[in-house]
Structures are given as C-alpha cells and as structure tokens.
Structure 1
C-alpha cells in the first residue's frame, strides 16, 4: 500500500517546483451534495461585471447575461466599457507600466501563485458560474478552472527560473480572449503578460464577461495592482480601440483568423516604443483531422472520436472536425459511431447525466445548422441525435455526423458539434496527409494505429502543432502538451510552453535545457563560403549561430504514467528575408539556415549578384523574388530596417495571403552591433506529440519500472 518512488502522486505530477491543480471526485455523493449547495447559493445572487480602470472610473451601458442553455436563466449583468474607457485605460496602463515592471520577477510570480491558491479555494463557486454563463458541463468546468490554475503556476515557475532584472517587458499588452475557454485562456494570457512585467488591458469575450470579472477579482486580491491589470468588457469595438491605442505594445489574441488579420494590419501601421514590429500572439483555430487505419482498436477509436468531436458541443479550437477512416474498417467503425452518437444526451448542463450542452449564441447555432443543411442539399449522408423539446429554451445543435466525398467539400471550420467523415485507401495515405496539410491549418491532429512504422511516418509528415497518437485530441495540459498551431492556426509561441514568456519581453531569455547537438549542414557551408571571401569574423559568427540554434531539440515533458509527451523544435518553413545591406543579409541567412529553414530573398535589395556563387546546397534553399506573394506562404519574416521603411515593409507583409507572419526586425546598426539581432527561437516550430503508450495492449512504461 506504500507509494512507489517512481510514480508521482497527482499533486506532484509536474515535479517539486509546480503543484498540480486539484479536481473533484464526481462519483462521491458527499462531494456532489456539497457542490450542489454552492451552485444553488450562487444562483440566488446574480453575478456582475463592470469595467475596472486603474483610476476607479468607468461608464457604459448595462445588459443582462443569459444562460445559453436556458435564456430564462439570467446569470447576472455586465456594464460594458465605452470606447472612451478603452482609450483612457490604455493611457493609465502606460502610466502604471514602469512601477509594475520594477517589481522583482519573484514577487510578480508570487502574485500569480497566490491567485492560483485562491482560485483553487474558490473553485466550487467558479464552477457554477462557468456552467451557467458558458453552458459547460460540470466535468468541463472543472477542467477549465484547473487549466487556469495550472497556467498561473506554470508561468510563475517559468518566471522564477528564467527572468532577471535585465529582462525588460514590452509595455501595455492587450489580451483578447474567447468565450469557449472564458477563464482558462483569459487567465493564461493575463498571467503570462503580467509575470513578464507588462501592464495588461484585458478584453474578455462579449459572451462571457462574468467569469472573467471573477478571475480578475482573484488577481487583485493576490496583490496585482489595478493599474497593472484593467478589465474592459465589451464587444469588438472595445478590442479594436485597445489594439489601435498608441500605448499598446503587444497583443495576445485567441479567435478567428479574419479578426487576427485585422489586428495584424492595424499593428503593422506603427512600431513599438523600441522601434520594432509590435508582437502579436494569435491562436486561430483549425481544421483538425484524425487518421484511423485498419490496425486501430475500434472500441478505443469510437470513445476518442466522440470525446474529440462532441465534448463541449464541439466548441474547442482543438476539436476533431474530420475523421479519416481506412476504407477496410470504415463501415464497422461508422456503425459503432452511430450507436455511440445515439447514446448522447443533450440539454442543460446543470445535470450530470447531460453529455452535450448548448452552443454559445443563436448566431452560432444558425451558422452550424446552415452548414448541415447545405451538406444535406448536396446529398451527403447525415446522422443526428434527436434533441428534447426542452432545449428550445436555449441554443442547442443536434450532434451530427456527415459523410463527405473528400476533404475539399469543407471550405471552412465548423465550430460546433459536427463531425465530418471521409474514407481513404491505404495506398493513398500520403495523398491524404498532403490534403490535410493543404488546408493551411495546423493545430491538432490525431492518429489511431498500432503500427510503429505508421506512427513514425505520419507524425513526420503531418504539419500540426499538437499531435495525438492513440488517444483523443482535446484537453492539452499546461506544461505537458504546450498548445498552439502553425500556418493558419496561429503565430506561436505555444501557450503553456517554454517560449511563451519570451515573446512578451524585449529580449527573450533562453529557457533551461533549451539546446541541441544538431547543426544544419548549410551553416558550415555558409561559414566556409564567408571565410573564403576573407570575412573571417562573419564566418565565426555564423558558426556560433549554428551552435546556438535549438533546431532538433527534443525533450520528454512530465506527465502521467502510460502517456509519453514529447516537445521538439522543427524548422518553421519558408522565411521571407528583406535585407538592406550585405551584412544584413548574411545575418538573416545565417539565422534562417541555422534553424533549418528555406528562404525567399527580396530582389529589390540589389544583393543577388553578391551572393550568386553560394554553394549549391544553400542556393537550392533560396528563391530570389520581388513578388513575395507568389513564393509564399511564409512562416516568418526577417527585416532589416527602421522607421518608415520598416512600417512600409510590415504593411506589405501583413497584406500577404496565407498565415499570419511572425515578423522580426533589426536596424543596420543592430546588425553591426548585436550578436543576435534576430531571435532564433521564433524561427523554429514547436511540436508537441502525446502518445498513449498503453494503447497497444498494456501499460509498458508502468510495468518497466518494477
């Protein structure tokens, strides 16, 4: 009955430096009775939210907040900020910034840890609010609060390990969070920005301001000054005003790709106080797929697919949208899926027996149902759950399975309880992977197979930020499966990962254990080419870049026994280089090659002739062009320049089709005077792979430890 020294207890899962959050045993009648009492008490006193400005003033109109599962249930009321409030808050954030940045990183981290402890203590009341305001089930609400607590503790730990007095914050940072994780993502954004030393302008989703206000209150109680954290509830006009405010020095955004593009375009029109492009961290959803081959265990596939597609009514960025079944097993798996679908119960989430809750708004319901009807009109086979009459009081969509002819039938992400299914032949596996990659999205991806060679092949080819093998594709755990995508799915870095805080600082720190023995061979070739031209110092600098790059780094992160979670750094893709000088191009090319990337170089630089005799192996990775759009899409951009010329280039990059481009800039003086004018980490793609090691017939890792 004693504890095994190699098996961590739940609270110690992440090691001695970070405590795991605690949940509830929902099979315990005493626990359920206690929670029910708290929920009933919370339902008697309406919740409120209002602007929280640093000077205590605010204005705006008040409206009710309704339960999406039952519009007769008034959860509370929100007083929404005005555009004038937003502009004033930005000015106050600038005034408060210096004082908050001067607080030692250890004390800023301590504020987050106190907030985490308070949130853990307040969990029952927070659960009741999330269930009513966001329409979440109790298990989903518990997971949400736990994730928020984990974010607070993770970023606190990261700050204590990596930040010192020399790490300067950006300034006022705008945090725009979504309604589908109204506490977890909201808290994660704020926690990271605050602990890095930035003042924060928090704009929660219009649909879920009450839980955001509750989270901010806990942070105030933990010691965060009101000037350092201001709450601005409201609609999109408030977010737009905050992004456009001249004081804003960074933006963190989770939402649609279209809105992210608008934010990028706005930010491209000006520079930060340091004369750099204003950082944008955007996470923008995905067309997430799962491939299931004929070796997969069908019973496990069905459970994981149902959870991945329909949990939270499919309203997760990570949710499964397209299930790809090998044709040999498609009929059997689909029959089982239809049976499992019929067992799902839909309704108000204040009952434990309910599996699927509402979608967030009537507008969302109309969009999802419009898609289903469009597929029906095209003759696609559709399977749906009948939903009870009582759901008419809310905004519910029947969980739906739609069989498609091909992936091209889908033109956009459908953000709700809709699973699309396509069939493929084994010999067409690579073509299927190409089709998935060609969507341009790359957030989550799932694979079910018991063939090791298939796991190795598929995971090496698919371009997604979070890859899950023989398990569901939802529920990324902070610090265990750092979360974030690539391409149209976001800019990076990953939330709950080691690079995140660095994007919120003027000069990012190097995370612990962040190194690699791998060096791209092109670096040695470039160094030799420079040495042959008599540029000895440049040659040595390029060799050092190769040694500094973490390309190829792979490390296993702590997590539960029976699951292997690996975090690795890969080449990001094609990088756009916009140099002004020969030295600038050497620096840019060195950074891009050191991180394993290929490049497009702007021919308007007039430098092509000076680099015409590069080694063939390097030249093969270079395209010279003035037509940037024709040779994209780009996973990043390195620009040499400053002032108006930099703004002009930034605007041109922001107008390119395809993914949002993470742009770094250095002046010619920076290139001449700095060892690392460009951050190599922003040229690497973070990939998290989570493998259920018990799926192949036994928990081998557990048996191996004796």
Structure 2
C-alpha cells in the first residue's frame, strides 16, 4: 500500500469548497476492497492482490505501492513477478491451452456465459474499482463494464458460424494492454480468445486497474476459463509474454514506443500479432456551416479526459470559418464538468455525471502542464485555460492528478503537442487555407485510428475522406473502436498486425485454411475500412 500523498492546498489552484462535498456513503476504497475480498477471497488478501497462474492464485510477487488518482487514497498495487516466474506462468498456460483447445464449443460457450452472469452480478463493484483505480466517472465506469459483458454475449451467440473450419492456435494468446479500458478492451478480448479455444494470459497495467482485473479473472477462473493474470514491469516480463515460443499470438494496446519494440520482436519470430498503437486523431472543418450540431459533439470528445485511443485532440479548421468555429467550440469546452467522481453535496444525492475525473496520475498532469507552458512560450495561443477552481472536489483533497480543459491555437512545430497525442484534456487547433493543407495537417502523425471531417457537401466529403490516413473517418461525427461486427484497425504507425472486430477478431486468434491471409496492417498488405 502506498503512503498518503500531501494534501497541502496550492493557493493558485485550490478548488472552491462551496458547496462543501463529501464522499458518497458506501463508495470508499475500503468499501470496495471489503466487497472484493468477500466476492473472491481466493484472489484478494488483507491488503494485496495475488497473481493467477497454473490455475491457482499464487502468493508470489512483490506488491508495488500505489495511490488512487482520485484523491491520493492508498490502494492495492500490482504484485510484480520477475522474469523466471513469468516464464513458469507461460509454460503452465501452455498446459492449460492444450487441454482447453479440446473442450467442445458448447462447453466453452456455457463457461463463458456463466462468467458473464457473474460479471453482471458484480457489475457495480467492478465499476467502483475502476473509479478508484483509474479515475473513471461513475457513468463511464459502468459503461466500460457493460460494453465488455454485452460485447462478449454477442460473440457467444455468433461464435458457431465464426469458427466453422477453424481451430485454436498452437499456444495461448498473450495480452498486454494499457490501463484505460480494463473491461471493454482487455477482459472483452480475453473472453473471446478463450471462447475461440485458446488459453489466455494478461499482464496487469502498471498504472492502474489491477483490482478490477483480479476480480474479473477470479470470476472467470471459477467457471474453468483458462486465464492467467500476472503483474510486473514490461522489461522483466516481455521476454516471457512476447518472445516465448509457447505464445501463439501477442495482442498489444499501448503507445508507439513500446509497440514498436513488440512489433520488432514478433516480426523476428514470425508470431501472430495484433498491435494497437496511438496516433494523432484529427477532426477537420471545411466548408461547414451547421455549427449548432457541432457544439454537443465537441463536449463529448472530452469524455474521460480524452484518455483513450480514439480521442480527438486536434482540430484542423478552415481559416475562413475560424470565427464561426470558435462560436461553437468555446461554449462546449466551457461546459465540461470534471472533478472527484464520488463527491456529493448530500448523502442521498446521486453520483455526479462528470465528463472526466483525474488523469491517471499526478506525473501525467504535471507533464501536460509543462507541455502547454512550453508550447505557449514558443508561440502557441491559449484560447481556453480552465482552472481547478471550476472542478467538483472534496474540501482540501489532493488534486495533483487533475488537469482542467485547455485549448491551444497553432502549437509550434518544435512542440510535442504539434505532432503527438497528449492523452489528456488538451486540444490543439491548426488553421489551413487549402484542401492540400487540410489533408497534410490531418495526416500529421503518419497514420491514425480514427478521424472526422465536417463539411456540408457529401461529394466533398467522399472526395477528401479516402485521402485521410485513418482507419475510420466520420462525416461530421466522431468514430469509435466499435463493437460486434464493426471492424477496427489503423494505418501507418498507429497499428501493426491483424485487424479485429466481428469475424476478424476470431480469425486473428484461430487457424484456418493454409492459404489464408489475415486482413491487417502488414508491410505489404492493407484492408481498406
């Protein structure tokens, strides 16, 4: 458990205590922990979680101190394994895989369905753990749990046709994912991989989500799903989780730097892979006049402080329309609500409906503060700089992980905010005069996952959209990862390996005809969305 961080108020950023708020009764970290301990005592100790491998919850690992980004409350950290222990876990998973791949599909469907029923029973607890561990507002945390459950249920109903003529991989699927969507990305993928006949391994993200993932995996393991959950540094665990010959496929969600190292490793080994990496997703404005429709869409882009792979941190705006754009944009950013996700004015009040809570940690908040200050010093124009005084907080709470909405015009080319995704509530705006400039600015990061283009004329959209280097392009609306039949992938440096979604997610983790070529972002092959 981590020591409590300082709560000494900063006179320049201390949030207003009017009206005074308190923690919603029954939502404290201690409440969440005791409920988790009662729900899965095999996986939770008095003050720590355990690793799951070889079908058992193991006492090994060295717990890393951790604190909630919400208010600095000490919480359980990941029990980190060393490289040798990780290798033993992978070898044990291969034994599970060899047994599981021969389990009849009807039985696999029954066990996955039973797991989904258990996840549904503990839905609110899983969501509460997400609030404390990664700072998600209550409504968004519930949505993350629900998307995982509903998405896997759809695969259970469709899996028979998807597996026709297909067999499990020779070895288990290894999952390394970022902290921001533990349920709807990581648990969702693991259960579908298991449904397809594979044992599954996951590394808990270092920055958060370990308790939520532990509870979800405990519920799955009780139903006989062959899941392995281990913690540790990427440097220590990567040789086992990426390079081990026992691994049948590597599924990665994270940043470009780490993703590039994983991509090099799997390419050298000829191993199946699904590598989702970040890109600078952009929203273009060209010959557009429906400004009233744009304002609510812009506010929606601030959900979860833009801490997601499909966030839109860059707006590329036609210079002639800039004044009208600001008239639509500024009311949206000024209406964003943020603060402590569990703070209420009265005990009977419902939990607040916030756009976002804290960033993942205080280090990230300081990084964004430094980046914006640096960009402004080099010439960027601050169009909006929110204040922590606008947030909803408990009196005198630690707010070091919070960062208010910020918008900069024309970040200089020397600034990281010009070409990289900030992964926080910071928007940058670039002005252009020609269609060529529009496309160049929207393609600044050599490939992205999503993009949007707001223009009045459908013909103009259809002409420009194919030139935008993003896997999905929306016409005047945001795009997302998608669910069920919807495909997902990326262009350029935002993605490597097989595309996913619908049948492709199952094909990526199973074997088919010898002549099969998996659709994806490979060196010599692309599937257009």
For Structure 1 versus Structure 2, the TM-score category normalised by the shorter chain is 0.7 to 0.9
- Structure 1 range deviating more: 184-193 or 108-117: 108-117
1:320 aligned onto 2:308: no
Residue 157 to residue 353, structure 1, CA distance change in 2 (3 Å): closer
How do residues 30-429 of structure 1 correspond to structure 2 at under 5 angstroms? 39=27, 42-43=31-32, 45=34, 47=36, 48=44, 49-54=49-54, 56=56, 57-71=58-72, 73-164=73-164, 167-207=167-207, 208-224=209-225, 228-241=226-239, 242-270=241-269, 277-308=270-301, 310-351=302-343, 352-382=352-382, 383-388=384-389, 390=396, 392-404=398-410, 410-425=418-433, 428-429=434-435
How do residues 573-584 of structure 1 correspond to structure 2 at under 5 angstroms? none
Deviation at 1:114, TM superposition (A): 2.4
SS at match of 1:52: strand
Deviation at 1:149, TM superposition (A): 1.1
Residue 218 to residue 435, structure 1, CA distance change in 2 (3 Å): same
Deviation at 1:414, TM superposition (A): 1.3
Residue 301 to residue 391, structure 1, CA distance change in 2 (3 Å): farther
- C-alpha distance after superposition, 1:343-370 (max 9, x if no partner): 3233111241533211102332232222
- Structure 1 range deviating more: 313-322 or 363-372: 363-372
- C-alpha distance after superposition, 1:419-440 (max 9, x if no partner): 1111223xx1233213423521
Contact 2:203–2:232 (Cα < 8 Å) also in 1: yes
- C-alpha distance after superposition, 1:158-191 (max 9, x if no partner): 4221214752423122111111112221112212
Give the distance between the partners of 1:381 and 1:55, measured in 2 at CA: 56
SS at match of 1:329: helix
Contact 1:314–1:416 (Cα < 8 Å) also in 2: yes
State the TM-score, normalized to the length of structure 1: 0.63
SS at match of 1:39: coil
Residue 102 to residue 423, structure 1, CA distance change in 2 (3 Å): same
For 2:7, the equivalent position in structure 1 comes to none
* Structure 1 spans left out of the alignment, 5+ residues: 1-35, 271-276, 510-544, 551-568, 573-634, 639-682, 688-706
Deviation at 1:391, TM superposition (A): 6.2
Contact 1:46–1:77 (Cα < 8 Å) also in 2: no
Contact 1:305–1:472 (Cα < 8 Å) also in 2: no
Give the distance between the partners of 1:331 and 1:346, measured in 2 at CA: 27
Contact 2:310–2:449 (Cα < 8 Å) also in 1: yes
Deviation at 1:315, TM superposition (A): 0.4
- C-alpha distance after superposition, 1:270-297 (max 9, x if no partner): 3xxxxxx111110001100001234342
Residue 116 to residue 686, structure 1, CA distance change in 2 (3 Å): farther
Deviation at 1:136, TM superposition (A): 0.4
Looking at both structures, which has the greater relative contact order when contacts are Cα pairs under 8 Å and sequence separation is at least 6?
Answer: 2
1:685 aligned onto 2:515: no
Contact 2:385–2:404 (Cα < 8 Å) also in 1: yes
- Structure 1 range deviating more: 450-459 or 433-442: 433-442
- C-alpha distance after superposition, 1:124-162 (max 9, x if no partner): 111111111110011211221122113322333342212
For 2:459, the equivalent position in structure 1 comes to 453
Give the distance between the partners of 1:101 and 1:216, measured in 2 at CA: 19
Contact 1:59–1:82 (Cα < 8 Å) also in 2: no
Residue 392 to residue 253, structure 1, CA distance change in 2 (3 Å): same
Give the distance between the partners of 1:323 and 1:438, measured in 2 at CA: 12
Give the distance between the partners of 2:219 and 2:186, measured in 1 at CA: 13
Deviation at 1:211, TM superposition (A): 0.9
Residue 214 to residue 444, structure 1, CA distance change in 2 (3 Å): same
Contact 1:313–1:416 (Cα < 8 Å) also in 2: yes
1:430 aligned onto 2:436: yes
Alignment length, in residue pairs?
A: 476
Residue 247 to residue 492, structure 1, CA distance change in 2 (3 Å): closer
Deviation at 1:233, TM superposition (A): 2.0
Give the distance between the partners of 1:87 and 1:252, measured in 2 at CA: 18
Give the distance between the partners of 2:487 and 2:340, measured in 1 at CA: 32
Deviation at 1:265, TM superposition (A): 2.4
SS at match of 1:183: helix
For 1:540, the equivalent position in structure 2 comes to none
Give the distance between the partners of 1:468 and 1:142, measured in 2 at CA: 26
SS at match of 2:473: strand
Residue 135 to residue 432, structure 1, CA distance change in 2 (3 Å): same
Contact 1:401–1:419 (Cα < 8 Å) also in 2: yes
Give the distance between the partners of 1:278 and 1:209, measured in 2 at CA: 27
Contact 1:203–1:238 (Cα < 8 Å) also in 2: no
How do residues 519-598 of structure 1 correspond to structure 2 at under 5 angstroms? none
Cα RMSD for the two superposed structures: 2.8
Deviation at 1:229, TM superposition (A): 1.1
Deviation at 1:496, TM superposition (A): 2.8
State the TM-score, normalized to the length of structure 2: 0.83
Deviation at 1:246, TM superposition (A): 3.0
- Structure 1 range deviating more: 155-164 or 209-218: 155-164
- C-alpha distance after superposition, 1:436-492 (max 9, x if no partner): 235212211012223211221122222211222222344x43125433212111125
Deviation at 1:202, TM superposition (A): 1.0
Report the structure number with the largest CA radius of gyration. Answer: 1
Deviation at 1:686, TM superposition (A): 4.7
Residue 325 to residue 408, structure 1, CA distance change in 2 (3 Å): farther
How do residues 486-497 of structure 1 correspond to structure 2 at under 5 angstroms? 486-497=491-502
SS at match of 2:376: helix
Contact 2:204–2:213 (Cα < 8 Å) also in 1: yes
SS at match of 1:128: helix
- C-alpha distance after superposition, 1:210-267 (max 9, x if no partner): 111111122123331xxx2111022223441322333222110000111112112223
Contact 2:455–2:476 (Cα < 8 Å) also in 1: yes
Give the distance between the partners of 2:238 and 2:68, measured in 1 at CA: 27
Give the distance between the partners of 1:291 and 1:214, measured in 2 at CA: 41
Residue 114 to residue 495, structure 1, CA distance change in 2 (3 Å): farther
Contact 1:158–1:498 (Cα < 8 Å) also in 2: no
